[in-house]
Structure 1
């Protein structure tokens, strides 16, 4: 089944060329199907890129998914046009009376800033509190995962001496069968791109959290609240194959002398095109989340 997105959203044309099954909102109203309502809080600066990456994964499911795009009103976007936001996005004030089956909170390039000093932190806190009663399951990605762990469970981020960037090997840490991990290989890959991390022991020892997956090099990868309402992914499984390359070239052009992403370029040669080794993991992760933690758990009619 398709994802349901606005007819004129720029991502629509890209996804159609990739044969991702999508349906615009005009056609969707004619189907007598109760779609899953997913809201994406997009904190990424290049919102159109992030939209496409996430919609690609949400579209790889037998479920019909209706998407609402959300941005923080307390932060002025610098790299996304006001017209795009006005046409395709809503603010929290516009949706806070609604119920949603699932929510995704993306990463954001504000890792060097203490949470309380981020200019939209209070608004984000209000949204994360709202998720407890208005959303069946919330998936947090990268900085969004760190923000969620801090807000809900008091686990703060810590600075890294060097940026964690590259494609790393991960293993499953839970000995119990976990629905989110169903079908995972013993070893799988995912990109990371961050300057901070969280302490693995704090996650493992927290009574309300379960560590699901980690990397010997990149640390905590996936964790989940014991009540299964909150999922935290510290990497970027949604990234396109060229995203880390674009970040590296961007920072190089700025004269920042960035660290070469690890295990990414063939033979560590930035002149060679990288291979995407995490596609199957990313698709399975999002499919499992949609199926087991959203579709199987959400009420048909919210009260």
Structure 2
């Protein structure tokens, strides 16, 4: 899928080496199609890394996508310069009058805090409320999924006795759902979190359905709203091969309590390079979301979303 982003974005040289098609403005204007307008609220501290991970997964269908990156104005990033954010990111006030085919809300390293104690929580809730009328479909990732379920359905998160950390198998409970078109009966997905939303709480909500369920502490993997407007992914399908490895050694170096990521290092030996067994399903997951939940359903004139809310 051609991805249209700012030509000076740091991710472009890396993606170009992977043969990811990045389209410039001149070529985009010659295509007689409307690009899908996708906005990514990037709450991760290492924003450039997350940009690469997500753009990689958005690049596998023949559609044109116009990507806008969003950051919270109420949070001062410690890992990304203000200059970088000013050049490549927008704030909510700058885009709130626009309409989008899709929104991605990433995870964030704040899951052990109560939602209301996250200092950008008020701004985030404004965005989630705005998305009801200005976005056709929203994809929530990890903490973003827990935050969305809490805000939209009042389902609070529950602390885990032990960090859910590793690669976990998930069984597909709704195999006919188009999100899993082309999937096997089970797939693998990375998890790295201290909290969850209990399966019993989700199952008791009439507006939600569980699409995929993980093993042991992973529990829920993917949840969908029955109106098909929101998908909640509890893991990190976008993670690179070495992301969990970097987290593990980072915490070891900082003398933080951390266990080996499960089902990750061969023979549980951190000296061995992990094998990636989730990239194909992750790519298919994002492709199916774009195709079946966005492209096939979103109005051609995206501003008609306003009419649909009237």
TM-score scaled to structure 2, two decimals?
0.96
Cα displacement (A) at 1:270: 0.4
The whole-number CA distance in structure 1 between the counterparts of 2:116 and 2:174 is 32
Report the 3-state secondary structure (helix = DSSP H, G, I; strand = E; otherwise coil) of the residue aligned with 2:39. strand
The whole-number CA distance in structure 1 between the counterparts of 2:180 and 2:40 is 22
Verify: 1:181 aligned to 2:185, yes or no.
no
**Are the counterparts in 2 of residues 213 and 223 from structure 1 also a CA contact under 8 Å?**
yes
Per the alignment, residue 143 of structure 1 pairs with: 143
Cα displacement (A) at 1:33: 2.2
The whole-number CA distance in structure 2 between the counterparts of 1:183 and 1:155 is 31
> Per-residue CA shift, 1:201-252, capped at 9, x if unaligned?
1111210000000112211000000100010000000000000000001101
In structure 1, runs of 5+ residues without a counterpart are none
The whole-number CA distance in structure 1 between the counterparts of 2:241 and 2:6 is 26
Q: How does 1:118-267 map to 2 (within 5 A)?
A: 118-174=118-174, 177-217=176-216, 218-267=218-267
Q: Which stretch shows the higher mean deviation, 18-27 or 123-132?
A: 18-27
The whole-number CA distance in structure 2 between the counterparts of 1:60 and 1:126 is 31
The whole-number CA distance in structure 2 between the counterparts of 1:299 and 1:221 is 29
The whole-number CA distance in structure 1 between the counterparts of 2:73 and 2:256 is 31
The whole-number CA distance in structure 2 between the counterparts of 1:27 and 1:75 is 36
**Are the counterparts in 2 of residues 7 and 26 from structure 1 also a CA contact under 8 Å?**
no
The whole-number CA distance in structure 1 between the counterparts of 2:30 and 2:77 is 35
Report the 3-state secondary structure (helix = DSSP H, G, I; strand = E; otherwise coil) of the residue aligned with 2:104. strand
Per the alignment, residue 70 of structure 1 pairs with: 70
Report the 3-state secondary structure (helix = DSSP H, G, I; strand = E; otherwise coil) of the residue aligned with 1:248. helix
Per the alignment, residue 54 of structure 2 pairs with: 54
The whole-number CA distance in structure 1 between the counterparts of 2:132 and 2:122 is 16
TM-score scaled to structure 1, two decimals?
0.98
The whole-number CA distance in structure 1 between the counterparts of 2:215 and 2:167 is 12
The whole-number CA distance in structure 2 between the counterparts of 1:155 and 1:67 is 30
> Per-residue CA shift, 1:10-33, capped at 9, x if unaligned?
101100000011113343234332
> Per-residue CA shift, 1:135-181, capped at 9, x if unaligned?
01000000000000000011111111111000001101236x21112
Per the alignment, residue 100 of structure 2 pairs with: 100
In structure 2, runs of 5+ residues without a counterpart are 305-310
Per the alignment, residue 79 of structure 1 pairs with: 79
Per the alignment, residue 287 of structure 1 pairs with: 287
CA RMSD after TM alignment: 1.0
Report the 3-state secondary structure (helix = DSSP H, G, I; strand = E; otherwise coil) of the residue aligned with 2:23. strand
